[in-house]
Copies of this chain bind each other. A is one copy, B any other.
Amino acid sequence: MPDHTYTISQLASEFDVTPRAIRYYEDRGLLNPARAGQNRIYTFRDRGRLYLILRGKRVGFSLAEIGEMLDLYDLDDGQVGQASAVLEKVQRRIAILERQKQDLDQVIFELRNDSRKIEVFLQANSGPIKFEMPMPAGTDPEYLEHPEAAAE
């Protein structure tokens, strides 16, 4: 299977993207498929890179950022020029991703609550739904107890 190759539309349909998108990734230097004459031929490794590209996209990376990360993975062939610089970048990226994960957890939590409330509403079919508007950090805790005290 690893020595298998793929056409552009095979990969496109497997990963549910358009051939145009895949060619675009090549334009941006994220892929470098071999050619059979004029046609692109994708190796197993190319497929792996495409997988990483799409996963990177799903978590919000730009193609440029994904490119840097792929370069990282390509460093395995020797010359780790500025390892400490790379280290810094990777660690900054990890910090960003962890904040993102916290945000994600919170959003999921809130949406679950909303979902549950809507379900209850659909069962009871009566009364308005009360969603919660989360307060930003730094909110006076006293406000949470007596919100109606706030004159608008």
Contacts and interface: CB of A to CB of B under 8 A. Distances in A.
A46 to B, nearest CB: 11
Contacts of A90: 111, 114-115, 118
A104 B105 CA distance: 11
Contact of A106 (B47, B55, B133, B139): B55
Question: Chain A interface mostly helix, strand, loop or mixed?
Answer: helix
Given A55-B103, A100-B104, A104-B104, A76 B115 contact: no
A36 interface: no
A130 interface: yes
Contact of A104 (B47, B75, B97, B136): B97
21 contacts: A3-B151, A43-B152, A44-B143, A45-B152, A48-B135, A52-B133, A55-B103, A56-B107, A59-B104, A60-B60, A80-B128, A80-B129, A83-B121, A83-B122, A86-B118, A87-B122, A90-B115, A91-B115, A94-B112, A100-B104, A104-B104
